[in-house]
Structure 1
């Protein structure tokens, strides 16, 4: 089955459409991406080798067009909003990687996502070799450097497994994107937007993690009884999850707040 390289980009489009509630957003995004595709067609010759076409594409995106990651604003939710990313040419590895993958699909270039634990990595598959690209800046990244990043996350001596450098399973990639988006919205207390997005996800799947995150948002909005119900559901369904202990503490705090509210009524 053909690997859909633009699937991650489509996920970004869907996310923005949900959180912005802008029916014209998809057409506008198609126009902006079409502009970059036309510029790339003028710069990339089909007569070049596949490797040369890939590296010219990366040069266009990062050097000529100026796409970049800002370490000072790395986790901001706006880095997941495609109109912002395309307008300001600023994002995070997953959003810039999605743009590269979209262009790779258009030009039929063998670039694929890798669901690496620390961030999205890109994988170039040539006849005689595999090259890894860091979408932070479009440069090559060695397996030795990836191993260092892996150890920084999981501890000295932890060994990354070969399957962790394979093409990403789209279901897992989607789940990771959804969690990243929820975390960014919740952290910045974009509560109404976060609630709308999570409600959309729950309509498709009553995943306990979606329920948990809805509970966190409801707590931030002061809807304590509804938040309590969601968080208790999560702890009941996922008692061994590392976040369950923190949720139990939050449950005690919520019950305390609800007790104060009842006292103030009386």
Structure 2
């Protein structure tokens, strides 16, 4: 079965529709801009070029001619998760720039795929039995030795990178990784309303697919509700998570925090 490289793009579209008040007007603009990039790429990359040359030229187009980049000063901002912002400013984070590059690869039929590397999204190009890794931060090729150093930076000296760490990402795991990044970014910036909308949409969808509630989504909703001061509803969600995932490291922290939240509820009732 052909790997669908637009899975991440569709999840980012869903994120945009769920977390904004816009009813799709800007989404039409995004789709038009993405289509424009596809047309420019097809015009600039000769059909007779070999696959390696096409990939090189696509990277040059995106990061050179078109000027897409990541800014370390604004790397973690929520705006970098919205394709409308990224396409207009040419600024994003690895997941959003990687999303655009994967979309173009799908339309140009180029063998570029996502890798769920521990520190950030990495891309891999598989051509004629060889694999090259691409950093969507800047479009540069990155060696396996460099990836090993990044891996040790994340997990400590002596940690060994495996083939599984560099495998093509499972589409479901890819969208889950994006969702976790999106939720944590919104929560950190206290964009609670947007975070709540996104989490509740995922709760509804997972309940339909799995026929049960996802305790991790309940946990995340509880954290947002607590941040909003809705302690009664927050306690219900967090208690649900602790009961269903008692061995999770987060559960131990929540066990210590829940009594304080219950005190807040008691204080509200007394007042």
TM-score w.r.t. length of structure 1: 0.96
Aligned counterpart for 2:216 among listed residues 195, 209, 230? 209
- For the residue of structure 2 that corresponds to 1:243, the secondary structure is helix
The residue that corresponds to 1:94 in the other structure is 95
**CA apart distance, 1:36:** 1.2
1:159-170 equivalences under 5 Å are: 159-170=160-171
Mapped partners of 1:25, 1:170: distance in 2: 26
The residue that corresponds to 2:269 in the other structure is 262
**CA apart distance, 1:166:** 1.1
1:113-128 equivalences under 5 Å are: 113-128=114-129
237-246 vs 176-185, which moves further: 237-246
Unaligned runs of 5+ in 2: 207-212
The residue that corresponds to 2:248 in the other structure is 241
Describe the superposition over 1:110-141 as per-residue Cα deviations: whole angstroms up to 9, x where unpaired.
00001111111000000031000000100011
23-32 vs 52-61, which moves further: 23-32
The residue that corresponds to 2:144 in the other structure is 143
**CA apart distance, 1:158:** 0.9
Q: In 1, are the aligned partners of 2:7 and 2:175 still within 8 Å (CA)?
A: no
- For the residue of structure 1 that corresponds to 2:159, the secondary structure is coil
- For the residue of structure 1 that corresponds to 2:123, the secondary structure is strand
Q: In 1, are the aligned partners of 2:8 and 2:175 still within 8 Å (CA)?
A: yes
The residue that corresponds to 1:225 in the other structure is 232
Q: When the two structures are aligned, how many residues end up with a matched partner?
A: 264
1:52-67 equivalences under 5 Å are: 52-67=53-68
The residue that corresponds to 2:81 in the other structure is 80
1:76 to 1:257, Cα distance in 2 relative to 1, 3 A: same
- Kindly report the root-mean-square deviation, in angstroms, between the aligned alpha carbons of the 2 structures: 1.1
Mapped partners of 1:259, 1:74: distance in 2: 41
